[in-house]
Amino acid sequence: MANILTDLTEGVRRLQKFTKEMSELELKEEILNLKQLLLDVREELMAKDDQIREFLAKLQKKSETTEVLGFRFDLVEGQPSGLPYCPICEVKEGKMFRLIRRNRNYSLCANCKTLHNAGADGNVHGEDPPLTVNREDDEGSWLGRGRGFGRY
C-alpha cells in the first residue's frame, strides 16, 4: 500500500514537471498512467475493506460464543447452546465449523473428519481424546476407529 502511494506521489511530481516540458500527447499519456494508478489504489483499498469486514464478522461471531473445556458453543441467555464448533478447524483454518451430532456424547466435524467428545449444550467429556474418522465406503457411512460407534 505504501509503495502505491509513493508511486502516486511521484506520478504527481512528474506530471507537474512534464506539464512544462512535454507535448500535449505525452501529457495525455502521463494522465492516463496516473488514472490507472488511482484505479489500482482504489482496488487495493476495496480489498482491504473486504478483509476488515470479514475480520469484524469473525470477531462478532466469536463474541457471541462461550468456551467449555476447549469447545466453542453459541451463547444463549448466558448458557452454552446447541452443538459446538470444531476446535481443530478453528485453530488450523481460523474458521468455525459446527459439529454434526453423532450421538448424545459425540459429534463429528464434516470438514476435518474428527469425532469429538462433545455433545450439545455444553456436554463435554474431557477424558476422551478426539478420534479421526475414516470413510468406510462410497455410501457415506462413517466409523469411529476402535470405539464401536457403528454406522453414522
pLDDT over 50 at 30, yes or no: yes
In the chain, the DSSP E strands lie at: 65-68, 71-76, 79-85, 100-101, 107-108, 114-116, 131-135, 142-144
Place of cell 462433545: 118
Question: Mean of the per-residue pLDDT values for the chain?
Answer: 78
Mean pLDDT across the stretch 122-137?
Answer: 63
* pLDDT tens string 57-81: 776 666 688 888 888 898 888 888 8
Beta strand pairing call for 65-68 and 71-76: antiparallel
Overall pTM > 0.75: no
Q: Identify the helix (H) or strand (E) that includes residue 59.
A: helix 24-63
Distance CA 117, CA 6 (A): 54
pLDDT at 152: 38
pLDDT of residue 1: 67
Question: Please, is 120 exposed, middle or buried when counting C-beta atoms within 10 Å of its C-beta (0-12, 13-18, 19+)?
Answer: middle
